């Protein structure tokens, strides 16, 4: 029968190749995280600018200067919250642009996560396609590779993918919740907490990621 007796490639090598492709996706996700972080900071800065007057009116010196220059222009400026119309408009534009950039990052990140899931499934299928007997035969022919502590076998590579996928997925979910919570009423404390959590990435263990990268270099 056609295909009978066909030798399947070493599952260790096959799954390591899948892991290498998987880690390329993880690196792309990491790059998007940094882009998103910068956009979140720009949103935070723009909103804080709108909230805080550019003139410190409680200063006695400032009070005296304003009192000596009670022109219609100065009065209108103070009534507007000490922010001129142009600066206010620019801040709103920056906020909207930042939100759009964050949404774009999430869209691209979601595509990456879907691809990571597909690669993880591919690795699982590669393991299942090799029976225990066949796997044992192949490993006997490459004893040095198996005993080498520098390289993981197929099962461990697949485990790495499962763990990293879980971390990345949780990181993405956190980012998604942060972006959906952003609006003109977001408090300063909220924004600062979001920025810290986005940077800290509590669900991601960098050591695990670095260990996986070391396997595909």
Does any domain span residue 157? yes
Does any domain span residue 84? no
Q: How crowded is residue 141: how many other Cβ atoms within 10 Å of its Cβ? A: 9
* Domain hosting residue 209, numbered range: 11-44+100-216
pLDDT-based confidence at residue 83 (cuts at 50, 70, 90): low
Does any domain span residue 166? yes
The DSSP line for 129-176 is: TS-HHHHHHHHHTTHHHHH-TTS--HHHHHHHHHHHHHHHHHHHHHHH
Does any domain span residue 149? yes
Counting the structural domains of the chain, the total is 1
Does any domain span residue 38? yes
Convert the pLDDT of each residue in 121-164 to its tens digit.
Answer: 999 888 887 645 454 544 444 443 433 446 778 889 999 999 99
Does any domain span residue 89? no
Does any domain span residue 68? no
Q: SS3 for 172-186, per residue?
A: HHHHHHHHHHCCCCC
């Amino acid at each position: 029968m056609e295909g009978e007796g066909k030798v399947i490639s070493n599952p260790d090598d096959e799954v390591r190749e899948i892991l290498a492709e998987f880690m390329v996706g993880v690196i792309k996700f990491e790059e998007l995280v940094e882009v998103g972080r910068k956009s979140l900071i720009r949103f935070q800065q723009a909103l804080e600018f709108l909230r805080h007057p550019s003139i410190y009116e409680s200063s006695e010196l400032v009070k005296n200067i304003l009192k000596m220059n009670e022109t219609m222009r100065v009065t209108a400026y103070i009534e507007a919250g000490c922010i001129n119309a142009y600066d206010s408009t620019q801040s709103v534009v920056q906020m909207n642009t930042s939100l759009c950039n964050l949404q774009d990052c999430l869209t691209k990140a979601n595509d990456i996560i879907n691809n990571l899931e597909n690669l993880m499934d591919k690795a699982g299928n590669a393991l299942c396609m090799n029976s225990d007997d066949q796997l044992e035969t192949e490993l006997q022919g490459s004893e040095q590779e198996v005993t080498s502590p520098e390289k993981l076998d197929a099962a461990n590579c697949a485990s790495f993918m499962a763990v990293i996928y879980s971390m990345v997925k949780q990181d993405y979910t956190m980012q998604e919740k942060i972006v959906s919570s952003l609006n003109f009423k977001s408090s300063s404390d909220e924004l600062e907490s979001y920025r810290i959590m986005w940077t800290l990435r509590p669900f991601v263990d960098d050591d695990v990621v670095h260990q996986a990268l070391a396997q595909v270099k």
